Structure 1
Amino acid sequence: MDDPAGAHMLSKIVERLKVNKLVKAIERDPLRGPALTLLRDVLNDKRQGLAKNFSEEGKQRLTAECLTDIDNVLAQSNPVQAVRMRTIEFMLLSAKFDVLVMQPPTIFQGLSGELKPRIPDLARSDKELGDFFYGLDEPMDSFDKMWDAVLMRYWVMNLYVNAYNTVRCALGDYQADKTKDWLRPCYISFCIWHENTYRTSLALPSVISGENCDMRALMHSTWMNRAEEGEKFLRRSWEQSWEECFGEQSPYAGLAL
């Protein structure tokens, strides 16, 4: 006589064994293994926001989605360039919300840490942010709900950035000399550009020092352009373009970031 309950249990055991085998393979992989380790470390650390606010099922889903995204990017014909570009995409998304989260003192000149109270105003004045809130399932009818949504989005995008950074480093697209590596100055630039964009939408003065603030803000957004050119030393390429544009050293010249 058939035993449906027993067959279901056997099916679950087989599925679990397949998953465990796949996880073991990822752990041994020199590119994906470090990303999995980072995801586990962050999502198991209850002192951090994602670990405290996501369910176990949510953590597993987030891990699987991130690793699947990495797999798809690594499958492209030029994985080094593909990972670089995908990392930059997530950096742009993370920075857009980071400038709403950060508080003074900030990480660099050109960032105020003063935008958090203006989130409701920005939801009306900045189309992309307004679209983000509109697209959420729950109505954003209070500041606290808006703040929670911004914070969660920042945490997730920042996790993707950090996971991709492990792959970037494993592929050799980094400089051990922090005065030469591109990731941190690129991210700071994106934060400066996003803050300036927000401030413009609110008719607030720029906090970027020097003349031609709008041009300087625009230059901070051009890391993607330099990256698309395939330049190996991305930071040097971007800093040279700054020097050519403004006749002065870039704001990151010689800094170990």
Structure 2
Amino acid sequence: MDIALLLKAAILGIVEGLTEFLPISSTGHLIILGDLLDYNDETSKVFKIVIQLAAILAVCWDYRERLTKMVIGLPGDAPSQRFAAMLFVGFLPAAVLGFMFHSTIKALLFNPITVATALIVGGFVILYVEKRAYHPRVNSVDEMRWPDALKVGFAQAVAMIPGTSRSGATIMGGMIFGLSRKTAAEFSFFLAIPTMFAATAYDLYKNWALLHASDLPVFAVGFIASFLAAMWAVKSFIRFISNHTFVVFAWYRIVFGVIVLLTAYTGAVSWSHP
């Protein structure tokens, strides 16, 4: 087995796990890093699906008590039914729009230049949201109503543009629509579960022919690295936002995006283009 390839798998897995639930775009980081590591062939498409699945499974594990309670309570427990309905409503916009435009977006926008531009724009959006007067009216996920979930769902759909960040769009959208910082983050985590499971299943279906037994060691390394990194990141993120704003993530996005664009403009890095 190629040790260099296993190392690339570990690096990409860690990056996916660390960035999936932060407002800095995991997909964008994977596109840019895949370009730098020269791991952007056909097999890498399935690999990225696998490590994204690992990240969402880490969230399922972290929130297993809440999720188990919801599933068990679905037949007759009103709060569980309402919570499941919120997730379904929030999931719908991305599901419908993703089904319609998924292939087109991947073909035209999945490149480092688009990602860098979206990172910068998203960074300024975060700065704008944080500068606004902030008076949340919804202070827990249980207080949300279906219009809140639907609005966050449309915000999530914007994240189909790589570099936007699914978590960033849902958290910032939630804050704009009146959710508290922690509520927006937690609903973003929960909403990621049906969204990413659906996206993973669809991508696996589309790329099934690319699966090969010889790639299992590489996939396993990436999966484990992503799972462990995501578990740490989710817990750390919730602790962080209890006492901090998202401004640091905004400036990270802007600086990172500018560096990518500068390296492209100067020719220091030969980034791929659509």
Normalising by structure 1, report the TM-score: 0.31
Q: As a proportion of its length, which structure holds more helix? A: 2
Q: Which has the larger radius of gyration?
A: 1
Q: What is the TM-score normalised by the length of structure 2?
A: 0.30
